[in-house]
Structure 1
Amino acid sequence: MPCALCGDIIPAEVARCPACGAWARRRDFRAVGVAVFMLLGFNAFIALGSGISLLRLARPLRGETHDSYDPATTGGALAPYTDVFTVSAIMAVVTGVLYLIWLWRAYEQSPGPHRHHRAWVLFGWVCPIVNLWLPPRMVYEVWVNSGRYRTAERQAAGLVIAAWWVCALIGLVLGRAFTHGSVETLADARFDVHVGVAAAAFQAIAATLCMATVFQITRLQCLPMARSAQTPGA
């Protein structure tokens, strides 16, 4: 198989890359990071496409009047977008499972110190109330502990993670509101479309910011290994 760091072919019976010396365990971590990054990009692309399509659908509604408005036609036009949001939620669950595997490994490899036990990497996402603030906190700790950061850089990382988490929560709430929206009246239909556009936008932004965190943490945790492997005597 090719090495994830240098691209050299590694025999199956060898634990380290003969060219750069990277361990197979670190190669596997990088491969998982790349997979999560790509899935997040796919989710962002789907959300962005849904938002743009909903914007196009909103234009005809502007010219509608209460007399010419047809709820059945509008409901039929919005039904595929409800299915898209449902599929996006399923994809988010699949991505989330792989993301937790990646985060578990990243937490293990980060030098620390950590304020919370490693088990909270998993339990922090399912415990009510706690899952509103603990997951981004743990991602922040893994990020800043994986490299040497100044105070300003730590604050920048915190802003990225906070923006990601806030956008993810808002996108989740708005997406659920869109799928349960009403199109009985023209005002309801316009409002529902605007909610769908906002939900898609927040979801796309959240996926993009999450891609940035995955990229940075994976790069920080893999780069030192590559450098140490190229150092004589390492």
Structure 2
Amino acid sequence: MPCALCGDIIPSEVARCPACGAWARRRDFRAVGVAVFMLLGFDAFVSLGSGISLLRAARPLHDATHDTYDAAATGKALAPYQDVLLIGVIMAAVTGLLYLTWLWRAYGQSPGPHRHHRAWVLFGWLCPVVNLWLPPRLVYDVWVNSGRYRTAERQAAGLVVAGWWGCALLSVLLARMFGHGSVDTLSDARFDVHVGVAASAFQAIAAALCMATVFHITRIQVEHD
């Protein structure tokens, strides 16, 4: 198999790359990190594209008046975008399964100390209320414990993690609002479109910030082999 660090071909019976000396365990971890990074990039691209498409599809609303507005036609035009946002949430959930595999290994490879047991890497996403605040704390702990950081660097990492989690929660909330929005009046339709665009934008931003956490944690842990 090719080495994930230098690209040299490594025999299956060899534990380390003969060219760069990387351990197979680290190679596998980097491969998982790259897969998560690429999936997140795809999610961000789809979310951004759906938001731009929704803006273009809603252009007739800017020129419409209360006399010319057709609620039935508008509802029919916006219905597919509700499905697109739902698909985006499903894609994020699928990406999350691989992300949890990556985070489980990243937690085990970070030296610590950790404020929470490793089991919370999984249960922290499933427990109600707890899953609103624990996952970003776990990711932050893994990030700052994977290397030596100054105070300013720790604060920057905290801002990235907080921004990622805040945008992710907002995107889910706004997507639900868009799905249950009303197009009975012109003002309701315009508001619903803005909510849908905001949901797509926050999904894209959340995916991009999550990519940053995956990239930096994977890079640091691989380099400190």
Alignment of 1:123-202 (within 5 A): 123-202=123-202
The Cα shift of 1:58 comes to: 2.8
Task: Confirm whether residue 68 of structure 1 aligns to residue 60 of structure 2.
Answer: no
Specify the alignment match of 1:41 in structure 2: 41
3-state SS, counterpart of residue 58 of structure 2:
helix
In structure 2, distance between residues paired with 1:176 and 1:13:
51
3-state SS, counterpart of residue 224 of structure 2:
helix
Alignment TM-score, normalising by the size of structure 1: 0.94
Match of 2:18, as an amino acid? P
For each residue in 1:32-74, what CA deviation from the matched residue of structure 2 results, as whole angstroms up to 9, or x when unmatched?
Answer: 0000000000010011011111121232101111221111211
For each residue in 1:8-43, what CA deviation from the matched residue of structure 2 results, as whole angstroms up to 9, or x when unmatched?
Answer: 001122221111111111111100000000000001
Task: Confirm whether residue 205 of structure 1 aligns to residue 220 of structure 2.
Answer: no
Specify the alignment match of 1:230 in structure 2: none
In structure 1, distance between residues paired with 2:78 and 2:9:
50
Alignment of 1:85-100 (within 5 A): 85-100=85-100
3-state SS, counterpart of residue 22 of structure 1:
coil
Task: Confirm whether residue 56 of structure 1 aligns to residue 53 of structure 2.
Answer: no
For each residue in 1:140-163, what CA deviation from the matched residue of structure 2 results, as whole angstroms up to 9, or x when unmatched?
Answer: 000000011000100010011001
Specify the alignment match of 1:215 in structure 2: 215
In structure 2, distance between residues paired with 1:76 and 1:11:
57
Match of 2:212, as an amino acid? A
In structure 1, distance between residues paired with 2:33 and 2:193:
35
The Cα shift of 1:131 comes to: 0.8
3-state SS, counterpart of residue 216 of structure 1:
helix
> 67-76 vs 169-178, which deviates more?
67-76
In structure 2, distance between residues paired with 1:176 and 1:35:
28
In structure 2, distance between residues paired with 1:2 and 1:181:
50
Q: Mind listing any 5+ residue stretches in structure 1 that lack a counterpart?
A: 226-234
Match of 2:10, as an amino acid? I
Match of 1:180, as an amino acid? H
In structure 1, distance between residues paired with 2:68 and 2:98:
48
Specify the alignment match of 1:77 in structure 2: 77
Match of 2:45, as an amino acid? F
In structure 2, distance between residues paired with 1:57 and 1:192:
13
> 202-211 vs 5-14, which deviates more?
5-14
Match of 2:105, as an amino acid? R
Specify the alignment match of 1:30 in structure 2: 30
Alignment TM-score, normalising by the size of structure 2: 0.98
Match of 1:37, as an amino acid? F
Specify the alignment match of 1:228 in structure 2: none
In structure 2, distance between residues paired with 1:179 and 1:22:
48
The Cα shift of 1:107 comes to: 0.1
Tell me how many residue pairs correspond in the alignment. 225
In structure 2, distance between residues paired with 1:114 and 1:179:
39
